[in-house]
Amino acid sequence: MSSHTAVIVTTRNSAATLEACLSSVQRQTVPVTSIVVDNFSTDDTPAIARRHTTNFLQAGPERSRQRNLGAAMAGAAWLLFVDSDMILAPSTVAECLQQGQAGFRAVIVPEVSEGQGFWAACKALERACYVGDDTIEAARFIEATLFTELGGFDEELTGEEDWDLTARIRARGLPVGRSRTPLIHDEGRLRLGETMRTKFYYGRTMARYLRKHPRTARGQARLFRPAFFRNRRLLRAQPLRTVGMFAMKSGELGAAALGTVIGMWADRRR
């Protein structure tokens, strides 16, 4: 099989992080094609994207649709879906291709968080607990043929589309591989209100995800996840950040629950 890989980056007012993201795509140790699908940004995102790639288009209304459009224009054997605030290791695509050569048609790229301030440190601690957790981490690197067979991302979901796609891959009995080197999720100066607003927004389609994958979704929506118990030594070593992490998670879950209720009400009115 060809190793031609397209890295698809979705953006919306992403000027603060996009330069670092696309530069990391260009530093891959194997050739890749970069594609940026922008949701009509009003900042410098389009200009930054065009400096790095000629494969630029604008579309909405949400990330799942943007990703599907990017995949449709890719013409590659493999697809890597990246958010605009992520920074790849130079070996990311090469490691994923090694997993593909080993027989995996989809691959998880582990994530670690970096940022400034207390809440970013709490988020970094949380994400460190999830490394190696198949219930939380989702596949980002996928064989293009498999992606087409699955119908791409569910465009009725925003925020849960990665989990949904991975669940559908596993429902086919297909194992999911894992690369070694994590990518960096740039949290910037994370604010509690900001992350709660994001979870509220994602919560608006959570009921649809719950209907599709009820058992999986219930496990993912827990405050006290098994990953925290497995990493209890890490949490005990950072007590203040652990307290902050659980406070942040409580706020996020509350915001997501409110978003879910509002989303269910909106769905009934459709």
One digit per residue, pLDDT tens: the chain, 270 residues?
689 999 999 999 999 999 999 999 999 999 999 999 999 999 999 999 999 999 999 999 999 999 999 999 999 999 999 999 999 999 999 999 999 999 999 999 999 999 999 999 999 999 999 999 999 999 999 999 999 999 999 999 999 999 999 999 999 999 999 999 999 999 999 999 999 999 999 999 999 999 999 988 888 888 889 999 999 999 999 999 999 999 999 999 999 999 999 999 988 887
Which contacts of 26-32 are long-range, i.e. CB under 8 A and separated by 24 or more positions?
A: 26/52, 27/88, 27/90, 28/88, 28/90, 28/91, 28/92, 28/93, 28/94, 29/90, 29/91, 29/93, 29/94, 30/3, 30/5, 30/93, 30/94, 30/97, 31/4, 32/5, 32/6, 32/7, 32/80, 32/93
Q: Are 8 and 32 in contact (CB under 8 A)?
A: no
Q: What is the DSSP letter of 104?
A: -
Pairing of strands 32-38, 106-108: unpaired
Query: Nearest-CA neighbor of 129 among 196, 227, 20?
Result: 227
CATH number for the segment(s) 5-190: 3.90.550.10
pLDDT of residue 1: 67
pTM over 0.85: yes
pLDDT of residue 218: 84
Pairing of strands 106-108, 139-143: antiparallel
Paired tokens of 121:
């440190």
pLDDT of residue 219: 82
pLDDT of residue 137: 96
